[in-house]
Amino acid sequence: MTITPERLRLYLVTDDGLTVGRPLADIVLAAVAGGVTIVQLREKRATTRHFVEQARALKAALSASGVPLIINDRIDIALAVGADGVHLGDDDMPASEARRILGKRAIIGISLGGVPENAADAIAQADYVAASPVFATGTKPDAGPALGLDGVRALRRAVPRPLVAIGGINQGNARQIVEAGAHGIAVVSAIMAAADPEAAAARLKDAVEGALRQ
């Protein structure tokens, strides 16, 4: 499947450590109401059973909105719930394996920590690319060194795929990331930890769209 650059405008990555007791699906739906265009379920500590239950609940919650559900890392979870795709990092399944298992229609995203020297196979299978991390981040302690805005510019030039940036993005720096060439921004805590996820998403979406209108 291909994915349009518009679909990446505001990409929410979940973190169940930031929900402070609120149901995950409630936060996600509020964020979608505020303008989130795509959602990734990321569960790094959950059992498979819990992960599949969360994914099924989110898939059902999102179905009316048309917002795609992407599963972090786990192709088995994506298959079990009929998710729209997977997002793969360096420690996850190779993108070529994921494509073989999931088929042509699945959305496959990959993280890149810089302009790659030997990731042609992965890029060939990827529908979009995430520049990760663009800035230092507290929600992914194993992320590599920050790419910065120059890294975003370099990836946009080098990789012929829709590009989203992730890592330390908030309302204050969203605009410059889009001006550097990203088609959209991906956030975790800027929405997940917000007291009002809908308002937080709306402000981030405004920042992205403001930069695009220039």
Q: Provide the annotated active-site residues.
A: 42, 111, 140
With respect to a copy of itself, which residue has the nearer C-beta, 29 or 122? 122
Determine the Cα–Cα distance for residues 201 and 196; give it in Å rounded to an integer: 9
Q: Write out the binding residues for a copy of itself, residues 43-102 only, by CB under 8 A.
A: 47-50, 52, 73-76, 79-80, 90-94, 97, 101
Residue 198, marked binder = no
Residue 134, marked binder = no
Residue 189, marked binder = yes
Q: Hey, is 111 helix, strand or coil?
A: strand
Q: Is 209 in the site for a copy of itself (CB under 8 A)?
A: no
Number of residues that bind a copy of itself (CB under 8 A): 18
Closest CA to 128 of 14, 32, 6: 6
Buried b / exposed e over 121-130, threshold 16 CB at 10 Å, is ebbebbbbbb
Determine the Cα–Cα distance for residues 174 and 197; give it in Å rounded to an integer: 16
Site residues, a copy of itself (CB under 8 A): 47-50, 52, 73-76, 79-80, 90-94, 97, 101
